Amino acid sequence: MRTSWWKILCVVLLIYTVIGGFLFSVPAREILHETIRNLYFHVCMWFVMMVLFTTSVVYSVKYLRSQRLRDDIYAVNFATVGILFGVLGYATGTLWASYTWTEFASNTQIFTEPKLTGAAIALLVYFAYLVLRGSITDMDKKAKVSAVYNVFAYAVLFPAIWVLPRLLESLHPGKEGNPALNFKDSDARLKMVFYPAIIGWILLGVWITSLKIRLDLIKEKSILNG
Amino acid sequence: MVKKTISILASLLCFIPVAVLAQVNDPQKQYTAFDMRSNGKIYVVVGVVLIILVGLLLYVARLDRKITRLEKEK
């Protein structure tokens, strides 16, 4: 195993997250009750997705500047694992909402929820990124077109999940700012598990991505060195 | 004086049931299942999730080692 200290940190933090996430005391919330613990799991999925997509777009820009195939491999793998975490975040959010929002909101309100719609749009845009890559056989063209597309996808991602839900009427928390990151706002008991959880999940996402990248680098060795 | 003390004590006594009631209605007790942690076998769930998590992490670590071996081969 290569450079393993952060992988060990990842394992330790995730085990702490599960134990603390289930057993530590949480603040009492109406409607949410014990499901506030989902903060350590559902919200972290989106954090990982954002970090991976941001890294991906950085590598896409790097590719466009350098035309090195290695940067393209980095970009596509960060985006793929980012999509995985986005889908996980969406699925967990669906389950969470179906047991909490349904207690006070109408179906119409839930189906037209701007944050859900925005997240769905953003994920579909990223699905299209993979479809676009799959449809081009020429390697350099594939890398170049998908790198440009990735920059646009990122430009859609931001308004779709960060801007629009804050402008419209939303059931989802976060309209008032960044409740999860506001040091004064969130409960100390939650922060004690939440911050390590974010780091742990991000490290796991990066770990999985690094494996995929290394595998691709082995596969494309002849091209990369030639 | 004595009468006054008694009346104060009596009025204090009146508050005790209220205090007890307030404790029962404490939202923390009402909304979060404290019993779950001792009697509800939540530890079993923690154990199950930990087994899954550790299993998955070991799998990723094994993949990591395999890829490292592949990298060294060439």
Domain count of the fold of chain A: 1
**Section A149-174 average pLDDT:** 87
pLDDT tens sequence across A61-103: 999 999 999 999 999 999 999 999 999 999 999 888 888 888 8
Instruction: Give the domain extent around B9.
Output: 1-31
Identify whether residues B10 and B38 lie together within a single domain. no
In chain A, which residues touch B (CB < 8 A)? 1-2, 7, 10-11, 14-15, 18-19, 22-23, 25-30, 33-34, 204, 207-208, 211, 214-215, 218, 221
Identify whether residues B64 and B48 lie together within a single domain. yes
The fraction of chain A above a pLDDT of 90, given in percent, is 60
pLDDT of B31: 47
Lowest mean pLDDT among A108-122, B12-26, B42-56: B12-26
Does the complex come out with an ipTM higher than 0.90?
A: no
Query: Are B53 and A18 a contacting pair at CB < 8 A?
Result: yes
The fraction of chain B above a pLDDT of 90, given in percent, is 22
Q: Does a structural domain hold residue A226?
A: no
Q: Does a structural domain hold residue A69?
A: yes
Domain count of the fold of chain B: 2
pLDDT(A164) > 70: yes
Using a 10 angstrom Cβ sphere, with 0-12 exposed, 13-18 middle and 19 or more buried, the burial of residue A192 is middle
C-alpha distances (whole Å) from A95 to each of A40, A89, A101, A152 are: 15, 10, 10, 30
Identify whether residues B19 and B1 lie together within a single domain. yes
Choice between A187 and A44, residue whose per-residue pLDDT is larger: A44
pTM: 0.81
Nearest-Cα residue of chain B relative to residue A1: B65
Identify whether residues B5 and B39 lie together within a single domain. no
Identify whether residues B26 and B40 lie together within a single domain. no
pLDDT(A167) > 90: no
Identify whether residues B54 and B19 lie together within a single domain. no
Query: Are A7 and B61 a contacting pair at CB < 8 A?
Result: yes
Q: Does a structural domain hold residue A212?
A: yes
> How many whole angstroms separate alpha carbon A114 and alpha carbon A166?
9
Select the residue from B63, B66, B68, B69 to test the A interface by mutation, using most A Cβ atoms within 10 A. Answer: B63
Instruction: Give the domain extent around A43.
Output: 5-220
Identify whether residues B46 and B22 lie together within a single domain. no
**Section B23-50 average pLDDT:** 62
Query: Are A211 and B67 a contacting pair at CB < 8 A?
Result: yes
Nearest-Cα residue of chain A relative to residue B27: A28
